[in-house]
Structure 1
């Protein structure tokens, strides 16, 4: 097996029969897989247009059997080395046409449980494919202290040493890893593995028994008795805690099966808690280093970033067109920060080498070596709609594409910030725009802000116009501005002001006299329009 890649069989074992069932594997279960993509119906044509090998594992979201069959038929036209090797879907397992198309393409077909959550399955698959040979060997060798052990390996070892079934969860009760299930897995375990919340009655009982409080506040192993009425079996649970004061990193749950747990199960669980804390802390530390590199790449820590070194550390190409997307909330920004993980998920599904980072109150996405502005724009518009549908979050997005390479990423981020900062661009009605599309609005807003913030650039003659309006209860400023906005069409401006054209002509003559300018002169008109837009009414 080249490069120690994960095999289809190992991936299926990790996902467990609760989540995934193999329908057919034309090349067997030993086929190696390294990369994964999550694709929705609108994504499939774009993937077919991609040059070079496609990702080796595809998770098809919302793609029906007919569309899956058509896509597989089109895949067959590609070179065998450029086809995917595994297709995971919820909809196509009962379709003979899909099975035939998959067999013809040499693609393994895997059925996912209809209740499995994509936002849980996709990260699990990515973590499994990222496991090194050492991590898999550590699980097989039962070496809990091996430096390369991961949570999947730990769950398998604990299950073997205790005679139960293990789930490792984060503080929000999202499953991070689990051991293989057998026929005695209860509904609580099955639902948690599928990414679903446990039975509400049972969760209420756990709260009443103080289970959650005890694992948060102490290192003790809590024995949770079975609940036959709810078909819930006995469990042991321990918190994963680290540091002083202790920080809660998650929990390890051990379900008893048909046979009793081994006598030393609680002791094994305590040891596993310490190992899990080390693994999770290692994972938390690693992203912080990566996040620093990403922030430098986006220019968040000033100039002078060593792009080749950052690219090597992040495994990104230094050259080739790319795209940079900035996302900002319309209204409260707290929801956007909380949704950065969802944005990262969708970005990774669109392109598995994407980079996503929250900086300040905005989220930025880098799509390396991706130069099709049309496809990027289509994806961003879908993302904006998905954020609103899934989280009720209303956002704006700005796209810079194509970007020459990683050395231009910081400049591209500055460009998208200019669009997102522009009130005129925000009021255009479009939720997704590029600097090219918003150039006029952005530049005009920046010019006006520059004039507004520098009093030496204020024309003192405008103050005289404001003084005249106050002293005579006149409306010269409003009248001149309406005239200029109407492109010097007196009748249109008068209609907007609801006055007679002769009245407006009189006001314009008075304004020319007060200002000492000629409205027929293009330079005078340009200067006056800038001043009227940028300079507030002079205070008495």
Structure 2
């Protein structure tokens, strides 16, 4: 099976945005532009009908301003002044579109037949013949302007990507609406200042500049320059420093290389003026209430300034815009140290860039999802109990993902006990903890995350970092267990290595889950981890070691530590004494005491093997109490 290409839906989305942008830049009437948005929603997401509705001047009713697929009779019915009341007196007159506008969030109705809270659907849905719908608000920089509603002829569940697409199309419709209003306002200004030729030329220049930047932005999207290219272009346009970070403040991209000025550091953002500015627009945390650019005071130094960049100056400010996907704040776009405070038209350009940054992050999410699915499929074939059905095909698929499975690899297992929040994406967390050149292949398999890492250099430190990174994201509700399993030196070794690591993980999780377990050098003991039930192994270890643990709890004597050191030293009394820093006679006495307590001879190789396995199980399950 070959590696599939990036989903064609991404390029379809970019082409749709470009089509809408061309209509806006061509100054087509607003109803034509909004009709294009409705058409693109049907094409991209597979809906039969779509309508863009705007609030009237009194903000009492929603009225259709552009549509695709709807019959003239239905448009007339919806546009009736008493049809879509924004604040109806009760649920019998309510609709999903009105609720999406009132609450400023996307409303999904998988099946109108069971949507008892929306009485208007009883007459509207049969008139057009739809059974499911999505309604997303149109949010301009200063207010909610309307909604986009997409209708499905059949009842259907709506996926997260479909909801993200309808919300991004709502953003495009809002931008088109705002551009039309800006153009109308500028035309009014131009008419008023027609006698002042200088002002007229400046007004035209501003409009031309804004349209040029929007066209350039859409071309960058089509050219797929990536996040770094977008940030570099905006920095050059504004002659300022531009930073994109994720919702947790981690740097994603910055520009320019020379003279870069970072945004305010966390301490500066927590100070009252900055905090109030960020919270006013929802940029600080949670879903944004407004999508506009806000001015943020920079108080004090903001981290190290790179060579060539001057220090902070009193009164310096930065500008921040939220980056939103699916109503979720996923990042921030910062503009720092421009030559002058951005003009209103420049602020709109920043907002448009923030929207396109959201598109770029959505594309990256899709790529990560594709890589995760490919890795999961590869692991399913690689870890078949009887080995890969087509070994060479598995090697080729791994090579296409950048991994050489002909080299020795350590197989590790990451398991989570407890809830994993929907916003936490385990594959992204795991890859985010590793360096890009770490050679990590990770993916889901049978309810756990399987990690393959080159056996050299020693991957234990990387596994510790992955454990800490994942624990921090899931704290305090989730417990993470990571097991470093045996080294697989050929394709036939991976299934057995997985069973050993999975068995050790099951044993740890059945007792006291969490932490890092290293079972890479178990030897014959690994065979029992492959097939043994966790509770049976624990009973075996408890039963064999109980007399020794009970003796230690009452009289001390370090019998368990002595036994462990003696077995590790190849049953050499002198070597064990050196390791424990005691006299060899002391070790001999303790070994004799151990034989008395367990009633078996340590000269018996079978007894020594059982004791070694029992001690290994005790360490894995972290039995500090008496076995």
Aligning the two structures, in what range does the TM-score lie when normalised by the shorter sequence?
0.3 to 0.5
Asked which structure has the greater RCO (Cα within 8 Å, sep 6+), the reply is 1
Q: TM-score, normalised by structure 2?
A: 0.40
TM-score, normalised on structure 1? Answer: 0.45
